[in-house]
Homo-oligomer: A and B are copies of this chain.
Amino acid sequence: MADPTRIWTAALIVIGDEILSGRTQDRNVSQIATWLNVQGIRLREVRVIADDRDAIIEAVNLLRVRNDYLFTTGGIGPTHDDITVDAIAAALGVEVEIHEAARAILADYYETRGGLTDARLRMARVPAGASLIENRMSGAPGIRHGNIFIMAGVPHITAGMLDRLTGTLEGGLPLLSATIGCWVAESEIADLLGATEKAHDGCQIGSYPFFREGRTGANFVIRSTSQAGLDACVSDLSAGLERGGWAVTAGGI
């Protein structure tokens, strides 16, 4: 039987000059993080790197061995700056080849859109030995090679690929979470937070302060893989806050 306490992890490499230049606001980190958690997989590290072959090779070879899964986004389109497939093939020490099923998908998709040009055929190139992740949005598929999942940079295309992968990856217990909020400066209840976390093994409490409507408040996110453990921790923390005179808003403010 599988070990129910095993924690499955993933890393994500965001490949994109446009993120590092500040031009584009990344949306894939939160989307992939949320999706992974539902699969029972923890996102442990994200790296945002340039469209640079050596940077991709270094990150891929480190992160694929120290996580159960590695996701990448970006750089799999038809243009000269799309170098992800070549760099990952180099990282793995395999050739790049045309995937025949990908070629067929693209030929079909582009039949009424001007035909399958050489540039478009680039999107059928995969590291040798890969399988495809279907993409209903724009034809060009994502790519799976071992524990590496090569996804699009455009968030709604990545969303379609994630949808396709849902339920297919082995994971562990999802990390459950609950949020409560208070109109309190976190510095006033720092001791309570620390003591409550310490008293509840397997629970983590994150404190997220904010300033709104001219007032100071904070949301507290409690996480655990055990529903009973989570409930007990939320209950204790809420009681402590109420004892201190701060009204608690379930679900956060």
List residues 34-72 of chain A with CB under 8 A from any CB of chain B: 34-37, 42-51, 55
A243 at the interface (CB under 8 A from B): no
Q: Return chain B residues, CB-CB under 8 Å to A186.
A: 77-79
Interface-lining segment among A90-98, A115-123, A141-149, A224-232? A115-123
- Among B23, B46, B78, which residue has its beta carbon within 8 angstroms of that of A47? B46
The interface size bin for chain A is: 35 or more
**Cβ A190 vs Cβ B19 within 8 A:** no
With A21-B175, A22-B37, A31-B22: A113-B78 Cβ-Cβ less than 8 Å: no
A246 at the interface (CB under 8 A from B): no
A205 at the interface (CB under 8 A from B): yes
- Among B27, B177, B211, which residue has its beta carbon within 8 angstroms of that of A23? B177
10 A-B contact pairs sorted by A residue (CB < 8 Å) = A14-B46, A18-B208, A22-B29, A45-B50, A46-B49, A47-B47, A51-B206, A78-B186, A117-B187, A119-B188
Known: A80-B190, A117-B190. 16 other contacts (CB 8 A): A18-B206, A19-B46, A22-B31, A22-B35, A23-B30, A24-B208, A46-B46, A77-B207, A79-B190, A79-B193, A80-B193, A81-B193, A120-B187, A122-B190, A137-B211, A138-B211
